[in-house]
Amino acid sequence: MSKQTLSFQAEVAQLLHLVTHSLYSNQEIFLRELISNASDACDKLRFEALDHPELYEDAPNLEVRVSFDKKARTLTIADNGIGMSQQEAIDHLGTIAKSGTKDFMSRLTGDQKADAQLIGQFGVGFYSGFIVADKITVESRRAGLKPEEGVRWVSGGAGDFEVETITRAQRGTSVTLHLREDAEEYLNAWKLKQVIGKYSDHISLPILMEKEEWKEGEDNKGGEMVPTGEWEPVNKASALWTRPKKDITDEQYIDFYKSITHDQEAALAWSHNRVEGSTEYTQLLYIPAKAPYDLWNRDHKGGVKLYVKRVFIMDEAEALLPGYLRFVRGVVDSADLPLNVSRELLQESRDVKAIREGSTKRVLSMLEDLAKKAAPAPAADADGVTDVTDKKEEGEAEAPNAGESGKYATFYAEFGSVLKEGLGEDFGNRERIAKLLRFASTTSDAVTVSFADYKARMKEGQEAIYYITADTLAAAKNSPQLEVFKKKGIEVLLMTDRVDEWALNYLHDFDGTPLQSVAKGAVDLGKLQDEEEKKAAEQAAESFKPVLDKLKEALKDKAEDVRITTRLVDSPACLVVQDHGMSMQLARMLKQAGQQAPEVKPVLEVNAEHPLVKKLESDTAHFDDLANILFDQALLAEGGLPADPAAYVRRVNALLV
């Protein structure tokens, strides 16, 4: 096929501008990205060769080579991995974030398709080369194709690229960067080794560079370093998680995290452990500082990278951690799972269940350490699984100053809502999760109050932990249902996350103290309410009974019941639901999400001492209007809307005039 010129996908030009000017604040990251792509290509070949060993051809040893030519001002990153066909080069390099892996998966079926949801993405990382290059040349041949079926792809990073067929003896891919004048520092072996050591030391494949030796100039006039033709590894060629903790610095842990997540911020904490027992595995788990933009996307894939005996098997292995810990990043390397493990097998495997339980405990331990500002406890599990990792000191390896309270506040602001899902998903760890939760309260707008803090401040004679759920902090703080609690100085937790209402259905008490919503059931302050108050409330209910009966009749289509309350001080009325009924807020959220929700008929509680309620006894002419206004105002205060807003406005206007 002769040379042809093709246009990039429309968005690629915009992407290239973004990549070269905004996406990478650190110029040298381009080398990390290109080496990572080369490593992924080798991982892909290793995977395909499980069934087709002939793909190795005559080169079974996988490697990445980095070389440069000062005179030509070029830098080349080459691998002997899976390579690309001509059409793959057109598709993958000419389309924004096109993933060779996705097409690779689409050709597979059944368990194979599940197996292959793994190998790295050949996406925007490639375009990072244009940070330092004004032209990129890619030469490649896919493993299994004939030498004359190679391809050359060339682009200056503008609107188009050229592609042509070439003869290429070696399988794999070489990416040659034609460096700009301001990037000539990358034509230096010392600089390249420094960058490779910083970002790619953990790559398990050998990264090779040519040895250099000093050559004197003619007539003893200066000299220069020249290549010897002998190649040597410049990385440790061992996965970071397989090395002893004592040999790994905090900076290396952080760099590894950034390399596998492409996150520009350091992780808040990490845990690195080798576990032996009925199941053997190594885990290196990180807690990020920032939530991904798609954390709440239903199609979001979470999970850690899965390796088996250092062979990369799967990206985003969700089965290794429960859904409420989907924000955790890192690596799990199993010594027991088969190399051809599928996602279906992961769901059923006893080994995976053990890894999942062990990893969950590790993450919760990290969060507990962040929350309590204390050093990590020695790593010994109650189930008899023992941590046998080499240690710098007793305890888990973790981020510097990981016990600072500010770090837990950062974590909770980003992931607190996700963590709450664990109350409904992880019965075995429910108590540990409950201890990690934080809320605002009537004594603090900051989301810093734990259940334990609340219990320590409970008034003498208080028998429940009181809370209220609302859409916003302002709505919760100003709810009329809090009036008697404020009057008596009783703290109430203010819960404003949308997940709170659902999650608390699974948490009925904390450390033996029941949780009580102030918006459910009749208010019962127990020993905090003196006998005189109880007696006065009973007398008011008796004397006000005729009015209550009329209210029940007027509001029979809206309210399940009408009763006198002691919870109100300044407001005329409020709405509550029965003790075990669905709250009105949860019903509204379900409807907003397009879900079916039962029709909730609340109970209207009225304050017999309020002038507007007393007016009901004397103003019989406007009784129905007043009754409906009371109900609709209580609904508005609770965060709802009247079923007929226009009728509510008419009633208010009629009374105003």
Q: Residue 646 sits in a domain of what CATH number?
A: 1.20.120.790
> What is the C-alpha to C-alpha distance for residues 600 and 586, in angstroms, rounded to an integer?
10
**pLDDT beyond 60 at 514:** yes
**pLDDT beyond 80 at 39:** yes
> What is the C-alpha to C-alpha distance for residues 517 and 501, in angstroms, rounded to an integer?
10
- The residue among 424, 425, 446, 451 whose CA lies nearest residue 436 is 451
Mean pLDDT of 370-392: 48
pLDDT at 154: 94
Angle of CA points 458, 481, 592, to nearest 5°: 115
Over the stretch 147-160, which tens digit does the pLDDT of each residue have?
999 999 998 877 78
Same domain, 512 and 639: no
Percentage of the chain modeled with pLDDT above 70: 79
Q: Is the pTM of this model over 0.75?
A: no
pLDDT at 76: 97
Indicate the number of domains in the chain: 4
Could you write out the DSSP letters of every residue in 487-552? HTT---EEE-STTHHHHGGG--EETTEEEEETTBSS---GGGS-HHHHHHHHHHHHHTHHHHHHHH
Could you write out the DSSP letters of every residue in 343-407? HHHHHH-HHHHHHHHHHHHHHHHHHHHHHHT-PPPP-B-TTS-EE----SSSS----TTTT-HHH
**pLDDT beyond 90 at 84:** yes
In a domain, 336, yes or no: yes
Q: Inter-axis angle of helices 189-199 and 250-261, to 10 degrees?
A: 80
Question: In terms of pLDDT, which residue wins out, 391 or 270?
Answer: 270
**pLDDT beyond 70 at 648:** yes
**pLDDT beyond 80 at 497:** yes
In a domain, 36, yes or no: yes
> What is the C-alpha to C-alpha distance for residues 138 and 177, in angstroms, rounded to an integer?
9
Mean pLDDT of 3-22: 66
Q: List, in sequence order, every residue forming a beta bridge with 164; answer none if it has no partner.
A: 152
**pLDDT beyond 90 at 403:** no
Task: Give the CB-side neighbour count of residue 233, counting CA atoms within 13 A.
Answer: 13
Q: Which stretch, 237-246, 337-346, 374-383, has highest mean pLDDT? A: 237-246
pLDDT at 315: 73
**pLDDT beyond 80 at 401:** no
Sheet holding 573-576, edge to edge: 561-564, 603-606, 573-576
**pLDDT beyond 70 at 234:** yes
> What is the C-alpha to C-alpha distance for residues 268 and 405, in angstroms, rounded to an integer?
11
Backbone angles phi, psi at 29, to 5 degrees: -65, -20
Task: Say which range, 132-136, 538-542, 645-649, has the weakest mean pLDDT.
Answer: 538-542
Same domain, 504 and 603: no
pLDDT at 559: 87
- The residue among 627, 236, 528 whose CA lies nearest residue 635 is 627
Q: Residue 392: is it exposed, middle or buried by C-beta count within 10 angstroms (0-12/13-18/19+)?
A: middle
Percentage of the chain modeled with pLDDT above 90: 32
Same domain, 482 and 547: no
> What is the C-alpha to C-alpha distance for residues 273 and 285, in angstroms, rounded to an integer?
9
In a domain, 410, yes or no: no
Residue type, 418: V
pLDDT band at 470 (very low <50, low <70, confident <90, very high): confident
Q: How far apart are the first and last CA of the chain?
A: 88
CB of 60 within 8 A of CB of 154? no
**pLDDT beyond 90 at 430:** yes
Whole-number average pLDDT of the chain: 81
Same domain, 275 and 349: yes
Both structure tokens of 320: 């290794």
pLDDT at 21: 59
> What is the C-alpha to C-alpha distance for residues 139 and 175, in angstroms, rounded to an integer?
7
Over the stretch 282-326, which tens digit does the pLDDT of each residue have?
999 999 998 877 777 655 666 788 887 776 677 778 888 998 998
Max distance between CA atoms of the chain, in angstroms, equals: 118
Same domain, 49 and 183: yes
> What is the C-alpha to C-alpha distance for residues 476 and 467, in angstroms, rounded to an integer?
10
In a domain, 192, yes or no: yes
CATH number at residue 331: 3.30.230.80
Backbone angles phi, psi at 159, to 5 degrees: -95, -10
Contacts of 229 (CB under 8 A, 6+ apart): 210
Same domain, 137 and 218: yes
Over the stretch 170-185, which tens digit does the pLDDT of each residue have?
999 999 999 999 899 9
CATH number at residue 488: 3.40.50.11260
**pLDDT beyond 60 at 377:** no
**pLDDT beyond 60 at 127:** yes
Q: List, in sequence order, every residue forming a beta bridge with 573; answer none if it has no partner.
A: 606
> What is the C-alpha to C-alpha distance for residues 471 and 458, in angstroms, rounded to an integer?
26
**pLDDT beyond 70 at 548:** yes
pLDDT at 376: 36
In a domain, 408, yes or no: no
Q: List, in sequence order, every residue forming a beta bridge with 4; answer none if it has no partner.
A: 163
Mean pLDDT of 350-371: 92
Angle of CA points 171, 64, 211, to nearest 5°: 120
CATH number at residue 53: 3.30.565.10
Same domain, 206 and 169: yes
pLDDT band at 581 (very low <50, low <70, confident <90, very high): low
Same domain, 302 and 179: no
pLDDT band at 366 (very low <50, low <70, confident <90, very high): very high
Task: Say which range, 55-64, 483-492, 583-592, has the weakest mean pLDDT.
Answer: 583-592
Same domain, 163 and 187: yes
pLDDT at 560: 86
Q: Which stretch, 105-114, 262-271, 428-437, has highest mean pLDDT? A: 428-437
Mean pLDDT of 28-46: 87
Task: Say which range, 187-191, 260-264, 360-364, 504-508, has the weakest mean pLDDT.
Answer: 260-264
Mean pLDDT of 457-465: 89
> What is the C-alpha to C-alpha distance for residues 272 and 260, in angstroms, rounded to an integer?
15
Task: Give the CB-side neighbour count of residue 109, counting CA atoms within 13 A.
Answer: 0
Mean pLDDT of 34-38: 89
Mean pLDDT of 499-515: 90
Same domain, 300 and 364: yes
In a domain, 152, yes or no: yes
The counts of H helices and E strands in the chain are 23, 24
pLDDT at 9: 65
Q: Indicate the pairing of strand 269-276 with strand 386-387.
A: antiparallel
**pLDDT beyond 50 at 329:** yes
CA 324 to chain CA centroid, Å, is 9
Same domain, 231 and 295: no
> What is the C-alpha to C-alpha distance for residues 146 and 306, in angstroms, rounded to an integer?
33
Mean pLDDT of 264-285: 91
> What is the C-alpha to C-alpha distance for residues 78 and 141, in angstroms, rounded to an integer?
12
Task: Say which range, 210-224, 303-317, 378-392, 468-482, has the weakest mean pLDDT.
Answer: 378-392
Question: In terms of pLDDT, which residue wins out, 360 or 584?
Answer: 360
**pLDDT beyond 80 at 352:** yes
CA 229 to chain CA centroid, Å, is 47
**pLDDT beyond 60 at 404:** no
Task: Say which range, 222-226, 426-430, 542-546, has the weakest mean pLDDT.
Answer: 222-226
In a domain, 306, yes or no: yes
Mean pLDDT of 598-618: 83
pLDDT at 374: 37
**Residue after which a domain boundary falls, among 190, 221, 236:** 236
Listed in order, strand segments (DSSP E) in 528-649 are: 561-564, 573-576, 603-606
pLDDT at 385: 42
Mean pLDDT of 203-229: 80
Q: Following CA atoms 78, 79, 83, 84 in sequence, which dihedral angle do they give, to the nearest 10 degrees?
A: -20
Domain of residue 247: give its range. Answer: 241-403
**Residue after which a domain boundary falls, among 403, 430, 457:** 403
pLDDT band at 393 (very low <50, low <70, confident <90, very high): very low
> What is the C-alpha to C-alpha distance for residues 419 and 325, in angstroms, rounded to an integer?
7
Both structure tokens of 138: 């890619």
CB of 275 within 8 A of CB of 357? no
**pLDDT beyond 70 at 10:** no
Contacts of 530 (CB under 8 A, 6+ apart): none
**pLDDT beyond 80 at 348:** no
pLDDT band at 220 (very low <50, low <70, confident <90, very high): low
**Residue after which a domain boundary falls, among 236, 258, 276:** 236
Same domain, 487 and 548: no
Question: In terms of pLDDT, which residue wins out, 68 or 518?
Answer: 68
pLDDT band at 359 (very low <50, low <70, confident <90, very high): very high
